[in-house]
């Protein structure tokens, strides 16, 4: 599904791609992204007002919001404001392909391409894969057409001594024109960033809204902080506003501690080492269970309780909290994700009281490519 883009590549390819893509999340570019995030968040608030305080299923609304935001920021393409069929099909494919990938990864009899493609599950996988790749290809083609129509709009400019480009996809297309990446490479990175940039953030927001609905006092603190920092609710956000939202950041971190969007990650050991009295050989594949790590009693007292203050009051052991991974291969878009979540959650809490019909209900969870709630999460957005 993702090919060997930044997430899954290794060696020289990973180093060159990381070096190539890191500037696309520079501070100055994030400032441009913040404008789009704010516009999308205000539009989302207007959409929630139309529910008139009735109970709504959160996931579908949030996933539209994050998909449209990543398309307009990183890809530079505005999707139709109404639910376009390609976008709906893409969202459906991303949700449904995850369990198929997980199933194949643990079933040895599904490893053969020949056998897999002859089975109903393999044919469903191919159908979803075609939808995902088609959506990415259409984004690339659409952006190419826009660049041809108005080349001057997408020229590289200088700002504060840093080269700035208007979209992540623009950088890839510019590098392609120099022969440094081919169309397949662009597709790999677009698929990677589309998936990582909307599905992971969407699920973090879904769980965050669920938790906030059970904690009105946390909602009030977020609103109080927002009003203190931003002042007038119609004032545009600045980058310093996001930096000052310390309490909201703690709320998001506590949400990601309890419900990390990526609940486990895989690593291949590159040299022998001792784990207590066990020798782990080079070449061994290791699964880091982030979900369990972040619920350890010795690392986080009362680990199952939602306590944002824990991220304001104490320093935590290194690598105890790793929802964005850590080290050289940490998430390249974590600042982007935090900005997006701060923007929309602050506006939601400023405009609504969130109420849950079943107090403290926690849905069953499933982990395929990301952590998901098996059951729908329903919340009322009551206008303040």
Beta strand residue intervals within 50-99, DSSP E: 55-57
Question: In this predicted model, what pLDDT tens digit does every residue of 87-108 receive, in sequence order?
Answer: 888 888 988 998 899 899 889 9
Backbone angles phi, psi at 117, to 5 degrees: -70, -15
Pick from 74, 337, 325, 295: which is nearest to 199 by CA? Answer: 337
pLDDT digits (tens, 9 = 90+) for 211-236: 999 999 999 999 999 999 988 777 88
The single-letter DSSP state of residue 298 is T
Tell me what percent of the residues of the chain surpass a pLDDT of 70.
Answer: 94
Confidence of residue 83 (pLDDT cuts 50, 70, 90): low
In the chain, the domains with their CATH numbers are 11-383 (1.10.630.10)
Q: Which of 193, 170, 197 is nearest to 340 (CA)?
A: 197
- pTM assigned to the model: 0.88
3-state class (DSSP) for residue 213: helix
The two structure tokens encoding residue 21: 């893509």
Which two three-digit tokens encode residue 26? 């520079």
Judge whether residue 342 has pLDDT over 50: yes
Can you give the pLDDT at residue 156?
A: 46
Alpha-carbon distance of 194 to 70, in angstroms, equals: 7
What is the pLDDT at residue 80? 63
């Amino acid at each position: 599904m993702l090919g060997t883009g930044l997430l899954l590549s290794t060696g020289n390819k990973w180093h060159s791609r990381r070096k190539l893509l890191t500037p696309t999340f520079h501070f100055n570019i994030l400032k441009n992204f913040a404008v789009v995030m704010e516009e999308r968040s205000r539009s989302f608030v207007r959409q929630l007002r139309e529910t008139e305080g009735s109970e709504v299923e959160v996931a579908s609304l949030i996933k539209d919001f994050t998909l449209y935001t990543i398309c307009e920021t990183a890809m530079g393409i505005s999707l139709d404001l109404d639910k376009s069929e390609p976008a709906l099909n893409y969202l459906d494919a991303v949700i449904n392909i995850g369990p198929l990938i997980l199933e194949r990864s643990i079933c040895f009899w599904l490893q053969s391409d020949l056998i897999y493609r002859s089975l109903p599950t393999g044919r469903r996988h191919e159908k979803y894969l075609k939808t995902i790749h088609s959506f990415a290809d259409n984004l690339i083609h659409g952006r190419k057409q826009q660049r041809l129509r108005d080349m001057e709009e997408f020229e590289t400019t200088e700002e504060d001594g840093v080269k700035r480009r208007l979209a992540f996809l623009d950088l890839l297309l510019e590098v392609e024109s120099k022969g440094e990446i081919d169309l397949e490479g662009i597709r790999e990175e677009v698929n990677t960033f589309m998936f990582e940039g909307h599905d992971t953030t969407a699920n973090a927001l879904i769980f965050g809204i669920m938790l906030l609905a059970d904690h009105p006092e946390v909602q009030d603190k977020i609103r109080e902080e927002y009003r203190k920092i931003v002042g007038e609710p119609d004032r545009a956000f600045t980058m310093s506003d996001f930096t000052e939202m310390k309490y909201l950041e703690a709320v998001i971190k506590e949400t990601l501690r309890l419900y990390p969007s990526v609940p486990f990650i895989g690593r291949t050991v590159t040299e022998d080492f001792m784990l207590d009295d066990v020798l782990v050989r080079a070449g061994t594949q290791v699964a880091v269970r982030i979900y369990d790590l972040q619920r350890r009693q010795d690392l986080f007292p009362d680990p199952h309780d939602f306590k944002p203050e824990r991220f304001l009051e104490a320093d935590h052991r290194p690598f105890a909290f790793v929802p964005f991974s850590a080290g050289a291969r940490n998430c390249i878009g974590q600042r982007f994700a935090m900005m997006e979540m701060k923007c929309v959650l602050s506006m939601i809490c400023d405009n609504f009281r969130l109420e849950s019909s079943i107090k403290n209900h926690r849905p069953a969870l499933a982990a395929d490519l990301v952590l998901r709630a098996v059951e729908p999460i329903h919340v009322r957005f009551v206008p303040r």
